[in-house]
Amino acid sequence: MLTKWRIAIILTALAMLSVLMAACGSDTGGTTASSTPAATTASTSNMACEKGNLGTGGSTALGPLVQAAAKAYQDKCSGANITTQLTGSGAGLKGAHEGSLQVGNSDSFVNLTKNPEYKDLTDNQVAVVVFAVVINKDVTGVTNLTSAQIKDIYTGKTTNWKAVGGPDLQISVISRPDGSGTRNTFEKYVLGGTKESVSGASHSTAKTSGDVATNVAKKSGAIAYDTVDFAKKNNLTVVKIDGKDAIADNVKTNDYKFWNIEHMYTKGAATGLAKSFIDYVKGTDGASLRQQFGFLDLSAISSDAIAAKTPKPKHG
């Protein structure tokens, strides 16, 4: 009888241990489930998902980042539909002003002297883009160009690479169209405010940053300007400007001048999906994408450098 009583106690204890182990296993499984990417994102992300349709467009330099960010945002936030048109900064600003776009992307600040109607646009600054002067690989011996030399090339005064230390080879000049934010930045900070005036059979215009990279790679004697990211990904030769390399350390201090602030303009203050998406592009959630596409964070740039790129308000 005593033996049977002891067996009953042992069996009861084993049953209780089994239940306890199952409960512990259930708790561990629950912890694992709550650590899925969605749950982890919710605890570490600053995202505030919004639903709806959002039309963005403009800058072809900023475009690859916006496109990648749109895909990533939609993957995280169901119910959001974001499209991006690569039409140039001028078209982006016009679209945001006229309402065909909710977000207009631009490589440069709105020029209210030229376009006073754009005073209804709100500037949302998201990153820093670094541009470079690039040349075809057959232009040997040229590793640096002064601003004056580049100006002479883009105003048609210098037409052969021999004049700037290169081979006896005609210079094929590639430009961006009027309204391009990249061209505006190039003319202001590299050409010193001078407008491009080169023309003739050796001159051509490329509509997008991607087109620029493709054309430089295949055209003998070519020179152009593009983002450093496009240059690297297409194995283009990047030349120094006034002895300065197109690298982050030189941009941060503005020792290297050919860079600008990237903008995502909205008509009035950004709200809803537009605000949420812009915050994603410029915030901690979009940091890895900014790095992947060669953009620098605004916070990494010195205040003096930012001031040098920011238009001064006009009075009177």
Lowest average pLDDT, out of 19-28, 50-59, 66-75, 174-183, goes to 19-28
pLDDT-derived band at 45, boundaries 50, 70, 90: low
Sole residue written with tokens 């194995």: 235
pLDDT at residue 33, as a whole number? 24
Sole residue written with tokens 């990533």: 72
In the predicted model, what is the mean pLDDT of residues 91-109?
A: 97
What are 247-273's pLDDT values in tens digits?
Answer: 999 999 999 999 999 999 999 999 999
Residue boundaries of the structural domains of the chain: 50-127+260-307, 130-252
Asked if the 130-252 domain carries CATH number 3.40.190.10, the reply is yes
**Interatomic CA distance for residues 20 and 96, integer angstroms:** 62
Average model confidence (pLDDT) across the chain: 88
**Interatomic CA distance for residues 89 and 210, integer angstroms:** 15
Superfamily designation of domain 50-127+260-307: Periplasmic binding protein-like II (3.40.190.10)
Longest CA–CA separation in the chain, Å: 115
Chain-centroid distance of CA 173 in Å reads: 25
Element (H, E) at 83: strand 80-86
Percent of the chain with pLDDT over 70: 84
- Residues 193 and 186: beta-carbon distance below 8 Å: no
In sign, the C-alpha dihedral spanning 113, 119, 121, 125 is positive
- Residues 153 and 142: beta-carbon distance below 8 Å: no
**Interatomic CA distance for residues 238 and 152, integer angstroms:** 18
Q: State pTM to two decimals.
A: 0.83
What are 202-214's pLDDT values in tens digits?
Answer: 999 999 999 999 9
Residues 6 or more apart whose CB falls under 8 angstroms from that of 161 comprise 139, 142, 167, 168, 169, 170, 171, 221
pLDDT at residue 29, as a whole number? 32
pLDDT at residue 47, as a whole number? 79
